[in-house]
Chain A
Amino acid sequence: MKPIVTPLTQALSEGKLTRDELRDFMVRSDGPALRLLFFWVLVLLATGSLIWLAWDSWLIWPAMFLHGIVVVHHFSLEHECVHSTVFRTRRLNKIVGTICGLIIILPFKHFRYEHCDHHTYTQLKGDDPELIEMPKSFAGYLYYISAIPYWRAKFTELAMHAAGHLTEAEKRFIPKVEYGAVIFEARAMLAFYAALFVLMAATGWWAPIWFWLIPLFLGEPVMRFVRMTEHVGRPTVAQMRDNTRTNLVSLPWRFLCWNMNYHAEHHYASSVPFHALPRLHEKLKDHICVEPDGYLGAHRDILRQLRRAPHG
Chain B
Amino acid sequence: MADETWSDLVAVADLHANWVTRVDLGGRAFAVYDAPSGIYVSLALCNHGGADLCDGYFEGHLIECPLHQGAFDVRDGRPLDTPATRPMKTFPARVENGMVQIALPARRQRQ
Binding site for B on A (CB under 8 A): 1-4, 6, 8-9, 12, 19, 22-23, 26, 28, 82-85, 90, 112-113, 116, 119-120, 175-178, 269-271
Contact = CB atoms under 8 A, between A and B. Distances in A.
B57 A26 contact: yes
Contacts, number: 71
A7 B54 CA distance: 14
Contact of A270 (B46, B59, B69): B69
Task: Among B49, B52, B57, find the residue whose CB has the most chain A CB atoms closer than 10 A.
Answer: B57
Given A84-B64, A119-B68, A1 B50 contact: yes
B19 interface: yes
B66 A178 contact: no
A4 B55 CA distance: 12
Interface of B: 16, 19, 29, 45-47, 49-52, 55-57, 59, 64, 66-69, 71, 80-83, 85
Given A6-B67, A90-B71, A19 B83 contact: no
Given A1-B45, A175-B85, A23 B19 contact: yes
B48 to A, nearest CB: 8
Contacts of B82: 112-113, 175, 177-178
Contacts of A12: 55
Contacts of B46: 1
Q: Which 7 A-B pairs have the closest CB atoms?
A: A116-B68, A4-B50, A26-B57, A271-B57, A175-B85, A84-B69, A1-B50
Nearest to B55: A8
A28 B57 contact: yes
A2 B57 contact: no
Contacts of A113: 82-83
A175 B85 CA distance: 7
Given A12-B55, A84-B64, A90 B50 contact: no
